[in-house]
Chain A
């Protein structure tokens, strides 16, 4: 095994390194643009993330980080720049870091749904603004699910509110601000107010 790897490595690494590094450099250049923006905010978020995860950080196994918590922090502080949420700014280092819509860091339902809302809007703001204006799309319906406005009777109303209130909802580059306006618009609708189960307080 070692021999094979050594051989393949020696054979290939020299020319490949040359080629790939220039190729990768092109890709990196593209990514750097985005990364630069988020550098500063990320430092802050890193620290906050750790604090949030301190409860489990000490454990030398599985649940080593409190991923969702830190993701929320990062997304928040990053604000408009959280495009990096999609790729490079984040290093999802632990399998159990990001949990299924709930986190180890939060123990109540209201906290976990709040986290889910924030993460969702931070990662999907651009898609959501587009689909809300068009009144169609899976990002829009997924957000309805996140807010608990699920089901065939709620979707049309949710889509309608999203489209009609587009200007009032998407009046900021900050995902958190958009989220607040969005929830406000949904709550202002008498049908959705009762149907959406996960709007928070």
Chain B
């Protein structure tokens, strides 16, 4: 393969030398044709292979190409670029629009690979570009993952972006050369939607009608946004890009500038684009093509990046306010913990000093620092917002704190290696199981969940108390009655059950949409029909107060459309309760029961339902799984089997 490539390169060089004298001949030469099919050229144009192997660029803005056919034809684009490079800058009203100014990396690539004599090229003044690149000398590149937060559905699948350490060359050398990560820059790709209603938002998001753009902003803005406002921990994966590749990345960003990529929720999303950007900057990488094809979840990109040998040099963790509060809280003794709780509940700034007077200096520091962190967490304090309800308490606490000259100890929140999001189980679960049906007959079950995580799945790398199912589908074959039972056809299911968190009481909630078979569709037992449902619930969790067992109870509501004779559609209020046993280690179990009254058009029925899921993780790719189901008028069934994550 390498030999073949060298041969082509040699040939390319030979032919191009021959054609130098005549740009017109160069355009139609075999060298150009070959080079236009090279991986490197396509990476610079962000080409991706899609269905039926058709290739096209991810970019949709015409401004990203010299030719109007550049999106789909790499050869025509290369020819147009070559022609453009030779054009007299005078032809451009604004010389900065000359292809040599606009696309410096593509120009360099062509000059080097086609042995173009630089003296034959015009020399447009690219002042803006030079200024920008001089101020954006990239020294270090990292991929940042903003993790999930149970209470924030928008963060369901996580988010990722690049972080660049930039050492700007100052106008008079006075720029900071800070090694402080906060002063780095974030490169983010996101949809820009403007003002639309929610339905339009999702329709357009899923069908790729929003323009997606790159933006660059100080990393501290992202830290405020994710760590402090949305309570999401950040994971920073430092990447091994050489100095040359880092600088190249800046030039590629210059080439991208304002050009847009239509945002597809499923694949051309933030995380995928970051990999395409890295591929373009570091020639030997081919990360984008290693991503799953149907849809891409940010964790998938982390897995791809970390599985590339030598690419990740270091991993850091930046805790959210929530994590910081919990860490500080756990460092206090019981009395101090109680005091923090009381002080926050009382919220009396004027009494704060008196309440603290009996504590030692270290006790005061611990209580005050924890109290402020608690307030910041409760109010999602970020940016220049100094709080509302607790504003005065916070100010008073800081006043007293600043009067104690001792410095607080550096807060260390180092999670276990196993909690790294890239170490989490694969995003898709598929399992086969066999067991016994309600009438004693054999039962086989196929389970397919393309994303993401349930209570009983091996917890590391995903937050505890979060259940996100996407297209979660469970089909059973009952050999006794010779019927198949659709246990679930997702839709989406979200269940947020906050685990034990001292002082903070967050509510549990759930939301499910999908289809499934029901057994109460007629007067007889096992009168089966298909139903579509929207199910929601709200309640509380965390009442058992132990680390590994979470109990939850919710009031639920459900709207169903049934293909039965007498209800057709029904409203179904009910109650749901569950217990998750999730100790550290491979074994986890979740049991859940629901009882609801079904107010149909003609008929009212009472339905009880129960589920049990127990899993024993063999690794982060394999698991043993036991599922039990009970339902009124069906009875119970249980299956055991083997599942794989990928």
Contact = CB atoms under 8 A, between A and B. Distances in A.
Interface stretch (B381-389, B422-430, B562-570): B381-389
Contacts of B383: 82-86, 122-126
Among the interface residues B171, B220, B384, which one has the most CB atoms of the partner chain A within 10 A?
Answer: B384
B253 interface: yes
A180 B471 CA distance: 55
Nearest to A167: B399
A62 B131 CA distance: 12
Contacts of B207: 5, 9, 13
Interface stretch (B110-118, B405-413, B578-586, B591-599): B405-413
B50 interface: yes
Contacts of B177: 150
A96 to B, nearest CB: 6
Contacts of A17: 198-199, 202-203
A25 B254 contact: no
B174 A148 contact: yes
A8 B385 contact: no
B258 A87 contact: no
Interface residues of B, number: 102
A15 B492 contact: yes
Contacts of B408: 134-137
A186 interface: no
B384 A25 contact: no
A20 to B, nearest CB: 6
Nearest to A132: B402
A64 to B, nearest CB: 6
Interface size grouping (class) on chain A: 35 or more
Given A62-B257, A62-B258, A138 B407 contact: no
B180 interface: yes
B176 interface: yes
B258 A136 contact: no
Interface stretch (B8-16, B18-26, B182-190): B182-190
Nearest to A83: B385
Nearest to A109: B171
Contacts of B463: none
Nearest to B254: A62
A62 B170 CA distance: 21
Nearest to B381: A126
A99 B136 contact: yes
Contact of A23 (B52, B153, B192): B153
Interface string A162-173: 011011001001
B168 A102 contact: yes
Interface of B: 50-52, 54, 56, 63, 94, 96-97, 102, 128-129, 131-132, 135-136, 152-154, 156, 166, 168, 170-172, 174-178, 180-183, 185, 187-188, 192, 198-199, 201-203, 206-208, 213-218, 220-221, 224-225, 228-230, 253-254, 256-258, 264, 266, 294-295, 365, 369, 372, 376, 380-387, 395, 398-399, 401-402, 405-410, 471, 490-492, 494, 511-514, 534, 536
Nearest first, the 8 A-B pairs at minimum CB distance are: A83-B385, A166-B402, A23-B153, A135-B407, A62-B257, A86-B224, A83-B383, A92-B215
Interface of A: 1, 3-5, 8-9, 12-13, 15-28, 30, 34, 56, 59-64, 75, 78-87, 90-102, 104, 107-109, 112-113, 119-127, 129-130, 132-139, 141-142, 145-146, 148, 150, 159, 163-164, 166-167, 170, 173, 175, 197-198
Given A15-B514, A16-B491, 15 more contacts: A20-B153, A27-B153, A59-B94, A85-B384, A86-B221, A90-B221, A93-B215, A96-B132, A96-B254, A97-B215, A99-B216, A123-B221, A145-B183, A167-B402, A198-B176
